[in-house]
A and B are shown apart, each in its own frame.
Chain A
Amino acid sequence: MSNVLYDAPGPRTIVRYRIYTAVASVLLLAVLGYVLWLMYDKGQFEYELWEPFVTPDFIRALLVDGLVKTLQMAFTSVILAVVFGLVFGVGKMSEHAWVRWPCWAVVEFFRAVPVLLLMVFIFFSYGVGDGFGSYWSVVAALTLYNGSVLAEVFRAGVLAVPRGQAEAAYAIGMRKTQVMMFVLLPQAVKIMLPAIISQCVVALKDTSLGYYIIAPGLTAVGKQIYGEFGNQFQTVIVIAAFYIVANLILTWVATRVQKRLVGEKKPLEVSMIGTTDADTGYTQAGGGV
């Protein structure tokens, strides 16, 4: 095997690598063993602490009040975000400056502001009391944030369609709206779909921020469970496992869709902020920051 960092190993190097492997394995096992011993020492393997996660009632609570609510929040906000992103992404490409600039400002604003700040503001302004509650506050904040990211994705996707397509459509007499609706967007969606699914991973992870405004979801159920049983450590492991499995499934779907629709080309890249040229961006596929 040839690698940019090191040559194919010779006999002496292979022996050296074996020694490294042995030392590294011993070190890793020592760390793992230390953690397990510590857990044992602090009584973290006691059955009572794990009991809630094998009790049908709590499993039901975790799945119905936790996982399903979390997935609902994530998918509702992603669907709304797609609409938001479509409107503002197309708006950013408008030929009229009075449409382009407000859209640009909105997208840049919501991309630069932390989701949690947005969530707290929405919850305390419109969510509390007679407002729409913490569930929709989470959805609204995630919609605005992910919608702004998706607006950039849509713009990059439309710009990635070969220019000849639009020129040909104009040449046969299509209007601007028709070119966008019937020629550019259908082709762009194909390129964007993996990026949209990857954004679902980001949305799913960010639903956990609802913890701060007492929204329902996996973290809320987890908090109740460790509040009752005092098994913080076990709960974190179980809740994290739920998120990891859900996200890995989503990433797997994104990779499949990517291979089906785009082929082996690189996934669409969108920069985090400011710079809008797509070639300096960082790939969003498989769980954004």
Chain B
Amino acid sequence: MDDVTSNFDLVLSAFWLTIQLLVLSGLASLVIGTVLGAMRVGPVAVLRRAASFYVTVVRNTPLLIVFVFVFVAAPTLGWFISTPFLLKGVIALSLYTSAFVCEVVRSGVNSVPLGQAEAARAIGLPFGGIMTQVILPQAFRATVPPLVSVLIALAKNTSVGAAFGLMEATGRMRYFTNNNADDRGLIFLTFAIGYIIIVETMSFGAHRLERRWRIAR
């Protein structure tokens, strides 16, 4: 355990990498997922099918396989050869998570009752007004809780990067475990508490936002 306490900066830098992976791929997958979600609820059938195909394929593929694709298979096509590891990790995590974000966006939009849009059209609101004043505010509120579930899962999924040479928290724990066979339990607890802090912070923040944005139906 002395090894961990005296090298605590390594623990902190490992969690810093975890948080970087979380924030960067969180933002990227929110953007990609929203675009995919818009394709899935849009009026163009080709785009709807393309997005639905992407979601089905990615949701049923293990994250590890997505990582293998980005880190091992893609270079044989000449992709991501000189890309930094952090960026490759972010790409793999975003490819995976955006499929789940897409589903959240879709079910959020579908949760708005049809009558809301019909009423808005009936009083003569233009398309932009219907969207910004009526539909999206309601859809957005419905997406918050499931979106947080997806992002919490993403926080835990960053650990897969450890298998591909990213020295984030899980990789660092393995490094410490190799050197200090006697203190495995304590080392595990140290890193587990780090993850629990990240996850509980997100969960707490989401709960606050949810209560703040809640509306009476």
Binding site for B on A (CB under 8 A): 2-7, 9, 17, 20-21, 24-25, 28, 38-39, 42, 44, 109, 112-117, 120-121, 124-125, 201, 205-209, 211-212, 219, 222, 226, 230, 232-233, 235-236, 239-240, 243-244, 247-248, 251, 271-275, 280-283, 286-289
Contacts and interface: CB of A to CB of B under 8 A. Distances in A.
Nearest to A288: B153
B84 interface: no
Contact of B65 (A115, A120, A240, A289): A240
A116 B44 contact: no
B152 A272 contact: yes
A211 B177 contact: no
A44 B74 CA distance: 11
Given A3-B43, A4-B113, A120-B170, 10 more contacts: A5-B42, A20-B44, A114-B159, A117-B170, A125-B188, A205-B61, A235-B73, A236-B65, A282-B149, A282-B150
A219 B188 contact: no
Interface string B36-77: 000001111111001000001101111111001100111111
Given A24-B47, A125-B184, A271 B149 contact: yes
B150 A116 contact: no
Interface residues of B, number: 76
12 contacts: A5-B43, A6-B43, A25-B46, A42-B78, A112-B199, A117-B195, A121-B173, A205-B60, A205-B63, A208-B62, A240-B69, A289-B153
Contact of A209 (B110, B116, B160): B160
Contacts, number: 200
B68 A219 contact: yes
A86 B176 CA distance: 35
Contact of B78 (A24, A38, A120, A201): A38
Interface string B13-39: 000000000000000000000000000
Contacts of B145: 271, 275, 280-282
B43 to A, nearest CB: 6
Contact of A114 (B68, B73, B110, B170): B170
Given A236-B69, A239-B65, A115 B60 contact: no
Q: Report which residue of A25, A114, A208, A236 has the largest number of chain B beta carbons within 10 angstroms of its beta carbon.
A: A114
